[in-house]
């Protein structure tokens, strides 16, 4: 079992990081830490994808005409990671913008506090 | 009437209400935990962001210093709240705290189970670096073997994302645009705010002015050579966006706002997205209908090769750079 | 011509959305996007007629390169029907909510709001038509970002809080879906549905990589159920739908949740295949989630004192019907799920628009303030009444036909028959328990001895038109049961 884990170290690291990110996203009341958790989660998936694309002895896929495919790593996961990064940047920006708005209004980045204040706000409204 | 109706079940109350009676009063029974929480809320307004645990510890210490006496609530706490016009939602005492605790407990369990399953799965995946892995099939092989001929791009990744799977990439640019639009909607305000940033210091200015041309040039190089070497619109655009942010730090925001206002970056982004949609729309349409009329691919390895990949990379680069810069300007909180 | 319709409708929608910032005239943005939606509805109707007449479906390569290498779209009668319904509901929701939109969203931001809604619509169309897993993911993300901003656009403190909770759950769902896609790609090497179907069938036959396969199926199901607010993950939904502006609530509740479900249906039917889903008990999981969800969410809806929150909980209950039908694991079950998707899209958007009218007329969100509101806004009241009765299962309305379809499908199931029928009956009774008192109250008198006359004529022509069209659509889905079901069955067989 241990041998397998060592051989698959990149996948193992990726899923562990994913779980850590998930925990931070779900458990931390602090919104900034939630954002960090979200990014950790996404990055873990990128690590997973990047590790999947690697082929022993492969080069980066700058193809010279007429070369064997076996000489290069798989280009598909690279493209997927690129897309994933762009999506992660977008959601992070939106998340930060919402946090900024909430901070302006409630002067806190703690989600529990914000929820409590928002409930109090609606009752007093 | 309040007290009478409160003892009934919720459905009884509901029927009473439907029958035309007023719903009962706004306040549920007084909740000690809620009181504490409200106190805590007032406390954090004075002390910045403070975790609930730290607050509890502090209260405990306070009490111990006073000889196990219960700490008095702050005197200046507003005792009465404003008159409530609307019927508030009834909540059981401590409901929020209990919900949160339940949520935390459940989350921990779920995460632990998921992590275990993930580990088992990771062990069962195709082994790392295996050239015979299922992912290295005829799809990936064609991108590598015939990619240069079919797209004219030496960089197989650029060929893949801008030719074979270009629809994904269009969606991706649209995500960026949507994020920029959302951030603008949330943070853009035409009013001028108080300045928080007072111009660069001497060292920053000196270093920045030296670095800036190199960074911008490098960004442009990465974009333009996207089909020949690692990089492309997204990476080069990010470099360029970083350069623009540095420029704003070094030259001062006012000068940058004259050069590149939010309106202008938005227009640039829109223009580039439209150009992207036009080019790709053309190639989707002609490709699907078998019209022919393909863009000439050029000689692989030359700068003017790869058909539409070079202009597409330029568009993507501008979109990414403008979006990054827009994010920075908006989060800075100062406008035009 | 009809061959290019899927491509044209997606590109037209996205391009018109992108064009919005260049429009200067006030109100021009809303007019442009609604015009395009009308056009897309027409094109989809044409496509539906052509494809159902010919009994055919086709793939549309996006570019010069064929299927397993390039992106691809796929269209059949079911996709065309979904696209038609989505565009009609989108158009009507935006028209019905236009008045509230002008009040709730700041004038300088209405253009951006229209832009984002159009991108959302484009993303929904792409989710309906796509034949590629990763394209599906990218457009799911567009929908997540834009739907979140649809909630926050009102810019009240409560709506921003609701939006951030929505975003947290949404990101959680996307993270799980992305990990699932990564695992599936790792063991199959395919991203297109057609290629994936073969590769998965091969893996199932050889028994290789069975654990990663099941885990990836589970992850994607879980992620999409979080995003579509299925019962244990529905915590974000009531706040998000209740605090948004009317048009956003109608769109989010009627369409966005359905978009993810369409993708889930595609995953079940096209990628993993019914056999794998049944043998790994994922269908039973979906069934149980649906069953508990429809009861719990209905009970929660009973306890709400704010009209939009009640409707939002009722949405969660109705989504559970779809999960229940998907969990039956039979052809009839999927047909019923599609029927419920269509019926609920029509009904729930109508209820939200009607509630919006009443809230605007009476000026309060809480039941106490809404008493007698239907007399101030009779069409809004009518929309709420018809929608509520439809969800309670009054014959000739859309909700009844969908429930009938689910019940008929449940009769042929194995052990699920009794629980499904019990769930349907109990949930219908619960629906009636909260909708009927509410309907009585809104038509009643605000105070004793006060007899407000009905005010039929009061501005806002587009809102009235939208509600009338909604009512017509609801009746159509309720009465034209046979043809619609026939179309869905034909579409599923050509999927």
Q: Does C225 touch chain B (CB under 8 A)?
A: no
DSSP C309-324: HHHHHHHHHHHHHHHH
Residue with tokens 């796509």: C130
Tens digits of per-residue pLDDT, C194-244? 889 889 998 888 888 889 999 999 999 999 999 988 888 888 888 888 888
Q: How far is residue C436's CA from residue C442's CA, in Å, rounded to a whole number?
A: 10
Q: In Å, how far from its chain's centre is CA C327?
A: 18
Q: What pairs with residue C31 in β-bridges?
A: none
Query: 3-state DSSP call for residue A30?
Result: strand
pLDDT at C265: 93
How many contacts (CB atoms, under 8 Å) link A and C? 85
Query: What is the number of helices (H) and of strands (E) in chain A?
Result: 5, 0
pLDDT at C338: 94
Q: Does A62 touch chain B (CB under 8 A)?
A: yes
Q: Do B327 and A93 touch (CB under 8 A)?
A: yes
Tens digits of per-residue pLDDT, C344-395? 999 999 999 999 988 888 877 787 788 888 888 888 899 999 999 999 888 8
Of residues B89, B187, B230, nearest to A60 (C-beta): B230
Through-space distance between the first and last CA atoms of chain A, rounded to whole angstroms: 60
Of residues A15, A86, A110, nearest to B172 (C-beta): A86
Q: How far is residue B165's CA from residue B268's CA, in Å, rounded to a whole number?
A: 24
Decide if C97 contacts C154 (C-beta within 8 A): no
Q: Do C138 and B171 touch (CB under 8 A)?
A: yes
Which residues does chain B have within 8 Å of residue C189's beta carbon, measured at their own beta carbons?
Answer: 133-137, 139-140
Query: What is the number of helices (H) and of strands (E) in chain B?
Result: 14, 0
> Nearest 5 degrees, angle CA A45-CA A50-CA A52?
95
The ipTM, to two decimals, is: 0.94
pLDDT at C335: 93
Closest residue, chain B, to C442 (C-alpha): B18
Of residues C18, C63, C183, nearest to B283 (C-beta): C63
Sequence length of chain A is: 125
Q: Do C437 and B15 touch (CB under 8 A)?
A: yes
Q: Do C185 and A106 touch (CB under 8 A)?
A: no
Task: Give me the helices (H) in B188-232, please.
Answer: 202-224
Closest residue, chain B, to C159 (C-alpha): B186
Q: Do A121 and C174 touch (CB under 8 A)?
A: no
Decide if B226 contacts B217 (C-beta within 8 A): no
Which residues does chain A have within 8 Å of residue B234's beta carbon, measured at their own beta carbons?
Answer: 82, 85-86
Decide if C338 contacts C78 (C-beta within 8 A): yes
**Positions in chain B short of pLDDT 70:** 1-61, 63, 66-97, 190-200, 333-336
B286 to B290, C14, C135: CA distances (angstroms)? 6, 19, 21
Which residues does chain A have within 8 Å of residue B155's beta carbon, measured at their own beta carbons?
Answer: 61-63
Q: Considering only residues 381 to 440 of chain C, which have any Cβ-Cβ distance to chain B shorter than 8 Å?
A: 433-434, 437-438, 440
Q: Do A75 and B133 touch (CB under 8 A)?
A: no
Q: Does B332 touch chain A (CB under 8 A)?
A: no
Mutation target vs B (from A3, A55, A95; most B CBs, 10 A cutoff): A55
Residue with tokens 């050029």: B298
Q: How far is residue C38's CA from residue B164's CA, in Å, rounded to a whole number?
A: 31
pLDDT at B69: 45
Q: Tell me which chains share at least 3 CB pairs under 8 Å with chain B.
A: A, C
Q: Does A65 touch chain B (CB under 8 A)?
A: yes
How many contacts (CB atoms, under 8 Å) link A and B? 193
Q: Tell me which chains share at least 3 CB pairs under 8 Å with chain A.
A: B, C
**Dihedral class, residue C345 (left if φ above 0, else alpha if ψ from -120 to 50, else beta):** alpha
Chain C residues contacting A, CB < 8 Å? 134, 138, 141, 144-145, 148-149, 152, 155, 157-158, 160-161, 163-165, 167-168, 171-172, 174-175, 178-179, 182-183, 185-186, 191
pLDDT at B101: 79
Of residues A75, A89, A100, nearest to B160 (C-beta): A75
pLDDT at B73: 42
**Positions in chain C short of pLDDT 70:** 446-459
Mutation target vs C (from A22, A87, A109; most C CBs, 10 A cutoff): A87
pLDDT at B299: 79
Sequence length of chain C is: 495
Q: Do C152 and A98 touch (CB under 8 A)?
A: yes
- Residue C74 carries which DSSP code? E
Q: Considering only residues 66 to 105 of chain A, which have any Cβ-Cβ distance to chain B shorter than 8 Å?
A: 67, 69-70, 72, 74-79, 82-83, 85-87, 89-91, 93-94, 96-98, 100-101
Task: Give me the helices (H) in C153-209, please.
Answer: 157-188, 193-206
Q: In Å, how far from its chain's centre is CA B250?
A: 26
Spell out a b/e string for C356-392, using b for 16 or more CB atoms within 10 Å of the CB, else e. Answer: bbbbbbbebbbbebbbbbbbbbbbbbbbbbbbbbbbb
Q: Considering only residues 288 to 307 of chain B, which have any Cβ-Cβ distance to chain A shorter than 8 Å?
A: 300
- Residue A58 carries which DSSP code? P
Q: Do C160 and A105 touch (CB under 8 A)?
A: yes
Q: How far is residue C248's CA from residue C349's CA, in Å, rounded to a whole number?
A: 10
Of residues A22, A45, A122, nearest to C182 (C-beta): A45
Which residues does chain C have within 8 Å of residue B134's beta carbon, measured at their own beta carbons?
Answer: 186-189, 199, 209
Query: 3-state DSSP call for residue C1?
Result: coil
Which residues does chain A have within 8 Å of residue B54's beta carbon, measured at their own beta carbons?
Answer: none
């Amino acid at each position: 079992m241990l041998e397998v884990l060592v051989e698959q170290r990149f996948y193992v690291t990726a899923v562990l990081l994913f779980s850590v990110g998930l925990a931070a996203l779900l458990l931390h009341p602090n919104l900034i830490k939630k954002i960090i958790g979200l990014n950790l989660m996404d990055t873990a998936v990128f690590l997973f994808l990047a590790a999947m694309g690697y082929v022993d002895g492969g080069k980066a896929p700058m193809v010279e005409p007429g070369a064997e495919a076996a000489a290069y790593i798989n280009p598909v996961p690279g493209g997927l990671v690129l897309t994933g990064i762009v999506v992660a940047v977008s959601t992070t920006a939106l998340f930060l913008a919402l946090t900024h708005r909430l901070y302006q209004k409630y002067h806190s980045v703690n989600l529990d506090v914000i929820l409590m204040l928002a409930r109090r706000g609606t009752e007093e409204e | 009437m309040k007290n009478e109706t409160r003892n009934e079940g919720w459905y009884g109350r509901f029927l009473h209400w439907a029958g035309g009676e007023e719903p009962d009063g706004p306040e549920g029974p007084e909740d000690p935990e809620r009181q504490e929480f409200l106190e805590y809320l007032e406390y954090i307004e004075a002390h910045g962001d403070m975790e609930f645990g730290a607050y509890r510890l502090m209260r405990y210490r306070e009490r111990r210093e006073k000889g196990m006496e219960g700490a008095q609530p702050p005197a200046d706490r507003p005792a009465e709240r404003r008159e409530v016009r609307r019927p508030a939602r009834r909540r059981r005492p401590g409901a929020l705290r209990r919900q949160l605790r339940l949520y935390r407990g459940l989350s921990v369990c779920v995460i632990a189970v998921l992590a275990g399953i993930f580990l088992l799965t990771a062990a069962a995946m195709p082994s790392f670096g295996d050239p015979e892995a299922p992912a290295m099939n005829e799809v990936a092989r064609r991108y590598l073997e015939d990619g240069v001929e079919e797209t004219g791009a030496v960089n197989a990744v650029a060929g893949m994302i801008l030719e074979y799977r270009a629809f994904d990439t269009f969606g991706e640019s649209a995500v960026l645009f949507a994020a920029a639009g959302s951030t603008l909607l949330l943070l853009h305000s035409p009013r001028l705010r108080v300045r928080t940033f007072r111009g660069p210091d001497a060292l920053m200015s000196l270093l920045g002015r030296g670095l800036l041309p190199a960074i911008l040039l490098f960004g442009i190089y990465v974009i333009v050579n996207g089909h020949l070497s690692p990089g492309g619109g997204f990476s080069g655009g990010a470099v360029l966006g970083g350069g623009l942010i540095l420029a704003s730090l070094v030259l001062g925001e006012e000068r940058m706002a004259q050069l590149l206002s939010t309106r202008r970056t938005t227009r640039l982004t829109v223009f580039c997205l439209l150009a992207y949609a036009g080019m790709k729309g053309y190639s989707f349409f002609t490709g699907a209908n078998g019209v022919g009329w393909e863009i000439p691919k050029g000689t692989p390895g030359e700068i003017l090769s790869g058909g539409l990949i070079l202009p597409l990379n330029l568009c993507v680069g501008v979109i990414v750079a403008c979006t990054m810069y827009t994010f920075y300007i908006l989060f800075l909180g100062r406008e035009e | 011509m009809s061959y290019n319709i899927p491509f044209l409708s997606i590109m037209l929608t996205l391009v018109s959305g992108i064009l919005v910032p260049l429009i200067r005239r006030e109100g021009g943005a809303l007019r442009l996007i609604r015009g395009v939606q009308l056009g897309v509805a027409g094109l989809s109707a044409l496509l539906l007629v052509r494809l159902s007449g010919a009994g055919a479906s086709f793939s549309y390569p996006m570019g010069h390169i064929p299927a397993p290498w390039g992106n691809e779209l796929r269209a059949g009668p079911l996709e065309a029907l979904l696209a038609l319904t989505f565009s009609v509901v989108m158009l009507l929701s935006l028209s019905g909510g236009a008045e509230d939109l002008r009040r709730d969203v700041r004038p300088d931001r209405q253009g951006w709001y229209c832009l984002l809604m159009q991108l959302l619509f484009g993303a929904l169309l792409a989710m309906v038509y796509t034949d590629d897993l990763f394209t599906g993911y990218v457009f799911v993300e567009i929908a997540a970002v834009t739907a979140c901003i649809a909630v926050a656009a009102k810019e009240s403190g409560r709506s921003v809080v609701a939006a951030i909770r929505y975003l947290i759950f949404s990101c959680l769902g996307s993270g799980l879906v992305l990990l699932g896609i990564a695992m599936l790609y790792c063991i199959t090497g395919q991203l297109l549905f057609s290629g994936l179907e073969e590769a998965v069938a091969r893996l199932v036959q050889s028994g290789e990589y069975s654990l990663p396969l099941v885990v990836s199926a589970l992850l994607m199901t879980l992620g999409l159920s979080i995003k579509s607010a299925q019962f244990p993950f529905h915590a974000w939904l009531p706040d998000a739908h209740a605090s948004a502006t009317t048009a956003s609530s109608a769109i989010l509740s009627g369409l966005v949740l359905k978009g993810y479900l369409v993708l889930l249906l595609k995953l079940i039917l096209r990628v993993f295949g019914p056999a794998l889903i049944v043998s790994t008990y994922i269908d039973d999981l979906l069934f149980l989630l649906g069953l508990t969800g429809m009861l719990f969410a209905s009970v929660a809806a009973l306890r709400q004192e704010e009209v939009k929150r009640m409707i939002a909980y009722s949405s969660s209950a109705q989504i559970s019907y779809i999960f229940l039908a998907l969990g039956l694991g039979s052809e009839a079950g999927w047909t019923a799920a599609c029927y419920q998707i269509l019926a609920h899209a029509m009904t729930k958007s109508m209820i939200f628009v009607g509630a919006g009218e009443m809230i605007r007329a009476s000026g309060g969100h809480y039941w106490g303030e809404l008493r007698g509101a239907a007399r101030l806004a009779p069409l809004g009241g009518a929309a709420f009444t018809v929608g509520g009765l439809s969800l309670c299962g009054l014959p000739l309305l859309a909700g009844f036909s969908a429930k009938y379809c689910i019940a008929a499908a449940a009769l042929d199931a194995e052990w699920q028959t009794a629980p499904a029928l019990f769930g349907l009956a109990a949930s219908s009774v619960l629906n009636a328990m909260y909708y009927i008192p509410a309907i009585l109250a809104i038509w009643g008198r605000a105070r004793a001895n006060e007899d407000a006359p009905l005010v039929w004529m009061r501005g806002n022509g587009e809102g009235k038109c939208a509600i009338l069209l909604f009512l017509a659509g609801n009746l159509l889905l309720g009465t034209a049961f046979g043809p619609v079901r026939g179309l869905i069955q034909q579409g599923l067989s050509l999927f």
